Structure 1
Amino acid sequence: MLSTRLSRSTSTRPSTTSIASARTRNGADVSEASRGATVSVSKQQRQDELARLIYERGSIRTDELIELFDVSPMTLYRDLATLESKRLVRRSRGEVAAVTNSTSETPISFRLVQDVSAKAKIAKVAAEILADYSTIFLDDSTTALAIVDLLPDVQQKTYITNSLAVSRALSQSVQGKLISLGGTYNPQLDAFFGPTATKEITNLNPSAVVVGAASVQNFAVYHPYAEVGSFKSLAMSQAEFSVLVVAAPKFKRTSLHKMAEISDFDCVITDDGIDEETLAELRGETHVIVAR
């Protein structure tokens, strides 16, 4: 467990989105690295940008990708075949779609471009609530990462996280004390888990905990990985106040391992994409805030 004193950095804060919009063609923003005609990129970089754009859109036609990335149909075919072999995308009838499933978490680089607007709304509300708490745990979710830039710059606060991405952002964004939990590094989640992380969070007592989830179904919260779900649940149990930050689309997604009941959270923050029926049901279980 690494504890350090935070101070405001003069460097630019890291962006919570992976694609920097460079131009618009047919109404679609494309990253600088995607402009094959003007920027030389490696095959791996091109495939990464391709996957990020597909995850940002959800689905897109292959002929549009050929135009946007300025590559031949054969090059695109090979790139998509590689992504499909990694179970990141699925091709069907001239279209390619992002793959989301219940047994594996999407890599953080792709989650950063999913539900961006919803996460920004949720992060703003969460940051306002957290202003009243002195010791705050932020998990490895990209919504928690979005909160960092909005946190009050107060020296007396202590931040705890097992996320390397959140640690980096906190070190450049706010003053105060940072406690980084150690453990076994998961590169897909850019965070630490395992026995060491579990032991360290057990020895801490944050006043507030913020966690995200992969899906919410039947008043229960789920994550693809049992170990991650158990760690988040343990972090919740250590805190005086627990907050679930979850974008509305996750109420329609599925995942494998149950980590908590909705009623276990003191507060749920979602966005205005949630339907009225689901919202009414949730409010029968716990306090719900709709970020607009």
Structure 2
Amino acid sequence: MLAPQRQAVIAERVRRRGAVRVAELVAEFGVSDMTIRRDLETLAERGLVAKVHGGATAIDIGSTDEPGFEAKAVQQKSAKEAIARQAAALVSPGQAIALSGGTTTWTLAAHLVGVGGLTVVTNSVPVADVFYRSGLDDQTVILTGGVRTPSDALVGPFAIATLESINVDLLFLGVHGVDADSGYTTPNLEESETNRALIATARRLVVLADHTKWGIVGLRTIASMTDTDVLVTDGGMPDDARVSLRERVGRLIIAGEEPS
């Protein structure tokens, strides 16, 4: 079993049971004590478990917990970069696109500043700033109004009013959680309504979600996975999640892997 597969099993075990011990994992997987400790260290760095003496425990992520933009920006940087590169290939010069709030869409923005003739609609202050600083004369950026969330997204009635009369070719949507039953979710009620308005503007919905989003359920559902034209994720997505996603989304893209 490869390390990412073993780590996915361990993370799921912790999520279901609340805790695991190093000794039992060593016996189960037939690997060294040091290997399991490295696995737990990796999972802890990804925010999936909390390391304790002799093992790991679950991190209680509440349905209303919402990390700030700076905290999320340093998480899963390589995965987000891979997802952004893959997603950027879906954009053509001259298109009208929308980018929701989030650090993955912010990473994507840096890959799109050289695409000519874009019209970009966003409710993300950091995303708008990326395009503003690029200084390209042939790009148009529309930043909605609204109330700023901890993730630096603008939400609420003003944002929704701006979006009601706009039509774009593609929406790139960042999400807090992805779950087979609950779909795409957010811990912020007003952000869910604004994201629904963003979805309504777009001919095609592209969801950007790294593997750590799988199994996370926020307070409010934004959309069903069956509403998705394309979902772009990274190679750390567990095999069972890939099966579930392929059954529900129009097209699944695993960044860095050949299409299956």
Rounded Cα–Cα distance in structure 2 between residues aligned with 1:281 and 1:91: 29
Deviation at 1:173, TM superposition (A): 2.6
Query: Does 2:252 align with 1:288?
Result: yes
| One-letter identity of the residue aligned with 1:208 | L
Q: Which residue type is aligned with residue 209 of structure 2?
A: V
1:15-34 map, 5 Å? none
Q: Which residue of 2 aligns with 1:217?
A: 179
1:215-244 superposed Cα distances (whole Å, 9 cap, x missing partner): 111251111112111211221121111100
Aligned to 1:140: 101
Specify the alignment match of 1:120 in structure 2.
Answer: 81
Give the % identical residues. 26
Checking the alignment, whether the CA contact within 8 Å between 2:94 and 2:119 is kept in structure 1 is no
Say if 2:46 and 2:212, in contact at 8 Å, map to a contact too. no
The counterpart of 1:201, out of the listed 140, 158, 163, is 163
Q: Which residue of 1 aligns with 2:230?
A: 267
Deviations 1:176-216 (A, max 9, x none): 11111111223x12121111100001111111101111111
Number of residue pairs aligned between Structure 1 and Structure 2? 209
- Look up the equivalent residue of 2:164 and give its one-letter code: T
Q: What TM-score do you get using the length of structure 2 for normalisation?
A: 0.73
CA distance in 2, matches of 1:171, 1:110: 23
In 2, Cα distance between equivalents of 1:284 and 1:104: 29
Amino acid at match of 2:153: A
Output the amino acid matched with 1:121. A
Q: Does 1:256 align with 2:244?
A: no
Q: Unpaired segments of 5 or more residues in structure 2?
A: 1-42
> 8 Å contact 2:106–2:126 — kept in the other structure?
yes
Distance 1:131 1:99, change over 3 A: farther
In structure 2, the partner of 1:179 is 142
Aligned residue for 1:130, secondary structure, equals coil
Matched, 1:239 2:227: no
Contact map agreement 2:94 2:116 (CA 8 A) in 1: no
Q: Quickly say closer, same or farther: Cα 1:269–1:275, change in 2 above 3 A.
A: same
Q: CA deviation at 1:56?
A: 8.7
Pick which of 149-158 and 116-125 moved more.
Answer: 149-158
User: Retained in 2: the 8 A contact 1:153–1:174?
Assistant: no
Question: Which of residues 133, 139, 151 is equivalent to 2:112?
Answer: 151
Task: Tell me how far apart the structure 1 counterparts of residues 79 and 121 of structure 2 sit (CA, whole Å).
Answer: 24
Q: Deviations over 1:71-90 (max 9, x none)?
A: xxxxxxxxxxxxxxxxxxx8
Give the TM-score normalised by the residue count of structure 1: 0.65
Q: Which moved more, 1:265-274 or 1:224-233?
A: 224-233
Deviations 1:101-157 (A, max 9, x none): 321211111000111111111000111102266111111110000011111524421
Cα pair distance change 1:236/1:133, threshold 3 Å: farther
In the alignment, residue 207 of structure 1 is paired with which amino acid?
D
Gap regions ≥5 residues in structure 1:
1-54, 60-89
**Correspondent of 1:57 among 42, 45, 68:** 45
Partner of 2:5: none
- Whether contact under 8 Å (1:148, 1:173) holds in the other structure is no
* Whole-angstrom CA distance in 2 between matches of 1:112 and 1:96: 24
The verdict on how the C-alpha distance between 1:208 and 1:102 changes in structure 2, with shifts beyond 3 A counting, is same
